[in-house]
Structure 1
Amino acid sequence: MDVEILARIQFAFTVAFHYIYPPLSIGLGLLMVIFEGLYLKTGNKEYEVLTRFWLKIFAITFGIGVATGIIMEFEFGTNWAVYSRYVGDIFGSALAAEGLFAFGLESTFLGILIFGWNRVSPKVHFISTIGVFLGSMFSAVWIVVANSWQQTPAGYHIVGEGFNARAEVTDFWAMVFNPSSVDRIIHVWQGAFLAGAFMVLSVHAYYLRKGRYEAISKKAFKIALVVATVVSFTQLLSGHSSADGVVKNQPAKLAAMEGHYEPSAPADLYLLGWVDNEKQEVSGIAVPGGLSFLVHQDVQAPVTGLNAFPKEDQPSQVNAVFQFYHIMISIGMFLIALTFYASFLWWRGKLFETKWLLWIFSFSVLLPQIANQAGWFAAEMGRQPWIVYGHLRTSEGFSQEVSANQILFSLILFLVIYTLLFLLFLYSLNKKIKHGPYNEQEANLNSIY
């Protein structure tokens, strides 16, 4: 394989592995704020126990997330030097804001959050929990802003030519609020909330199936279910809004997501299918005129297809974009159905009697993670062949002095290290979950701490 393909594979691998952890940190942060807030309001010791328990898992997740995120910054310089020069001013301002507003907030309160129990007042500790949660939210904002600028550039001008060309910020707020940033930030936040909520649902469903920590698990499960139900439905709305933005700003990506080739013709909405890029055909189950209706509220309205663009400006992996996009949508719809059905059983008073549903929830932690990853792959592969949409091609952005053998060696090295980190994460997580929120031999929660 050539340098470009290897560099893309390496970055895709490192960013996909890293992205396991930040959504969990954000989602668990929200649940910890709710648990600790309920403890302060009610004085119920069970909510404090839940906060302490999930803080331990949050700390593991946060630590590995920070460690795996640093690698990507080095890859910008080693493998993507031309790209780094081109977007340096844009990314520099966004990442500086992240360091100032996000890491500053997190580092200020993280020590209090982890080590401040019984050293500061409950209200001060609760403020530190909120501070860490907001810090993780702000961190996501600036990363998504930087990525969204690649998708829909705004607030800049180009200085220089050829390999020396670079984008300079002319309007900071126009760069921040570029055409796709707000929709994508909301969608990413919601994906993170679902990742955290379903992790809580998964663990406490497991406890309920095993007959362990039943009273405290029922409380945690209900709270996480409320979060998951609300967010899974509202994510459908933000996803539709984001798709509307793709229609306006990246029509070639939309065409790839639905395998639509005709330059201007009514388009079907595929529930599932397989794209043959050579024959320019899609085999599958579709709603006739469904995409036209979603885009124009008219089943006969034409939608711009891939053949409206020059071949060199079309995504090359159309089937991959199609599949990743539909995996994300399918999981999202399943989560809506699952949470609404569970909420209905809760209303009927039969939620914890339905063992098969608890079994599904025990493994549901994987679903938001898969959807988050699939959504990012669809967005990034759909942007191809552009690394900065409409301005800099991916084939022009990689480092000219790095050899394929060098990238392959570092890729293998990262694969080994990240595998070890992932095994360490699973071991630590399993150990904390098996230990549980408290010693089961303790009958009185007030005596635990």
Structure 2
Amino acid sequence: MDVEILSRIQFAFTISFHYIYPPLSIGLGLCMVAMEGLYLKTGNKMYEDMTKFFTKIFALIFGLGVATGIVMEFEFGTNWATYSKYVGDVFGSALAAEGIFAFALESGFLGVVLFGWGRVRPKVHFFATVMVFLGSMFSAIWIVVANSWQQTPSGFKIAGQGMEARAEITDFWAMVFNPSSVERVLHVWVGAFLAGAFLVLSISAYYLLKKKYIEFAQSAFKIALVIATISSLSQLFLGHRSAEVVAEHQPAKLAAMEGHFDSLAVADMYLVGYVNKEKEKTYGLKIPGGLTFLTHQDFTTPIRGLKSFPKEDRPGSVNIVFQSYHIMVAIGMILIALTLYASWLWWKGKLFEKKWLLQIFMFSVLLPQLANQMGWYAAETGRQPWVVYGLLRTSDALSKAVTANQVLFSLILFTLVYTLLLILFLYLLNKKIQHGPDTDFVQHSPKLEEMAQQF
């Protein structure tokens, strides 16, 4: 393989591994705010113990997120020097803002959250928890803004020519509020809420199946279920809005997402399918005119297909874009069905009576993670062959000095190190879950032991 393919694989691998953690920290932060807020409102010590327990898991996730995120910044210089030079003024501004306004806020108040129990007043500690949550959300804002600028660049000018060309910001706020940034930030936020909420649901379901910490697990499950239900329904509308922005500003990506090849025709919406790039045909189960209806609210307005773009300007892996997008949508619908069904059982007073449902929730923690990953794959592979849409091609963004052997060697090393980090993360996470919450009330209450036996 050549340098470009290897460099793309390396960056995709490192960012995919890193992206396991930030969504979890954002979503878990929201759950912690809800839990500690309930403690302040009710005075029930169980909610305080609940916040302490999930704070320890949050700290583990935060640490892995920081460690795995730093690597990508070095990759910009080693593998993508031309890209770094081209977008340095833009991307550097967003990364600087992320460090000043987000990371410093989150990491600073995290110390109070971890070590402030009993040392600061409850309201001050709650304020620190809120600041940690907001810091994680602000971090997502600036990272997504930087990426969104690559998708829909605005507020800039090109200085220099040829290999000396670079983008310079002319309007900072136009860069921040580029045509896709708001929709993509909201979409990422809600995906993160789902990741964190389903982590809490998974752990709570595990305790309930093991008949441990019953009242604790039931309360945590209900808090997370409220967040997950609202988020899954919200994602349906936010995802649709994001697709409308893609249709307006990146028509080639939209065509790849639905395997639409006809130059200018009514477009179908595929539920499942397969794209044959060579034959320029898509096979599968479809709703005739469905994409046209979702985009224009009618069944007659034509949509540009991939054949209307020069072959060198089309995404290179159309089937990957298609499958990633459809897996994301399918998981989103599954999460909606799962949370609505659980909410209905809660309303009927039968939420914890079905063991099979708890087993599904125990493993469901993987679903939001997979959906988040697939969403990024669809967005990034759909942008190809551009690293900055319409301005800088991926093939031109590479470092000129790096060799294929160097990239391959570093990729192998990253794979080994990240595998060890994943094993360590899962080991420590499992250890914290097995240990359970630190509270005599939850573990030794006679009333709860009786409830556990009945359950």
TM over 0.5: same fold? Answer: yes
Give the letter aligned to residue 115 of structure 1. F
Counterpart in 2 of 1:200?
200
Which ranges in structure 2 are unaligned for 5 or more consecutive residues?
448-455
Is the partner of 1:63 in helix, strand or coil?
A: helix
Counterpart in 2 of 1:348?
348
- Matches of 1:444 and 1:59 in 2, distance apart? 32
The CA deviation at 1:249 is 0.1
| Cα offsets for 1:332-390 (capped at 9, x unmatched) | 01100110011011111111001111110000000000000000000000000000000
1:29 aligns with 2:29: yes
Counterpart in 2 of 1:245?
245
Counterpart in 2 of 1:183?
183
1:44 aligns with 2:69: no
Give the letter aligned to residue 150 of structure 1. Q
Counterpart in 2 of 1:223?
223
Give the letter aligned to residue 242 of structure 2. S
**Aligned residue runs from structure 1 range 140-155, under 5 A:** 140-155=140-155
Q: Describe the shift of the 1:441–1:249 C-alpha distance in structure 2 as closer, same or farther (beyond 3 A).
A: closer
Is the partner of 2:437 in helix, strand or coil?
A: coil
Is the partner of 2:352 in helix, strand or coil?
A: helix
**Aligned residue runs from structure 1 range 123-142, under 5 A:** 123-142=123-142
Counterpart in 1 of 2:452?
none
2:98–2:139: 8 Å Cα contact kept in structure 1?
Answer: yes
Counterpart in 2 of 1:61?
61
2:213–2:443: 8 Å Cα contact kept in structure 1?
Answer: no
| Cα offsets for 1:139-163 (capped at 9, x unmatched) | 0000000000000000000001111
The CA deviation at 1:108 is 2.4
- Matches of 2:215 and 2:113 in 1, distance apart? 25
| Cα offsets for 1:307-352 (capped at 9, x unmatched) | 1111100001000100000000000011001100110111111110
Answer with 210-219 or 366-375: which moved more: 210-219
Counterpart in 2 of 1:212?
212
Aligned residues: 445
Counterpart in 1 of 2:445?
443
Scaled by the length of structure 1, the TM-score of the pair is 0.98
Is the partner of 1:83 in helix, strand or coil?
A: helix
1:388 aligns with 2:382: no
- Matches of 1:358 and 1:345 in 2, distance apart? 12
Counterpart in 2 of 1:283?
283
Counterpart in 1 of 2:84?
84
Is the partner of 1:353 in helix, strand or coil?
A: coil
Is the partner of 1:390 in helix, strand or coil?
A: coil
Is the partner of 1:419 in helix, strand or coil?
A: helix
Counterpart in 1 of 2:302?
302
Give the letter aligned to residue 406 of structure 1. Q
- Matches of 1:153 and 1:444 in 2, distance apart? 62
The CA deviation at 1:441 is 4.7
**Aligned residue runs from structure 1 range 306-321, under 5 A:** 306-321=306-321
1:358 aligns with 2:340: no
Q: Sequence identity, in percent? A: 69
The CA deviation at 1:77 is 0.3
- Matches of 2:174 and 2:38 in 1, distance apart? 39
| Cα offsets for 1:173-221 (capped at 9, x unmatched) | 0000000000000000000000000000011011111111111111110
The CA deviation at 1:236 is 0.8
Give the letter aligned to residue 145 of structure 2. V
Is the partner of 1:279 in helix, strand or coil?
A: coil
The CA deviation at 1:442 is 3.2
- Matches of 2:431 and 2:11 in 1, distance apart? 31
- Matches of 1:433 and 1:267 in 2, distance apart? 48
Q: Pairwise CA RMSD of aligned residues?
A: 1.0
Counterpart in 2 of 1:429?
429
| Cα offsets for 1:393-435 (capped at 9, x unmatched) | 0000010100000011110001000000000000000001111
Runs of 4+ in structure 1 deviating by more than 6 angstroms, as ranges, are none
Give the letter aligned to residue 232 of structure 2. S
- Matches of 1:186 and 1:441 in 2, distance apart? 39
Give the letter aligned to residue 365 of structure 1. V
Scaled by the length of structure 2, the TM-score of the pair is 0.97
- Matches of 2:39 and 2:222 in 1, distance apart? 15
The CA deviation at 1:104 is 2.0
Which ranges in structure 1 are unaligned for 5 or more consecutive residues?
none
Counterpart in 1 of 2:337?
337
The CA deviation at 1:300 is 2.3
Counterpart in 1 of 2:451?
none
- Matches of 2:338 and 2:443 in 1, distance apart? 34
Is the partner of 1:351 in helix, strand or coil?
A: coil
- Matches of 1:267 and 1:189 in 2, distance apart? 30
Q: Describe the shift of the 1:279–1:23 C-alpha distance in structure 2 as closer, same or farther (beyond 3 A).
A: same
Give the letter aligned to residue 4 of structure 1. E
**Aligned residue runs from structure 1 range 231-270, under 5 A:** 231-270=231-270
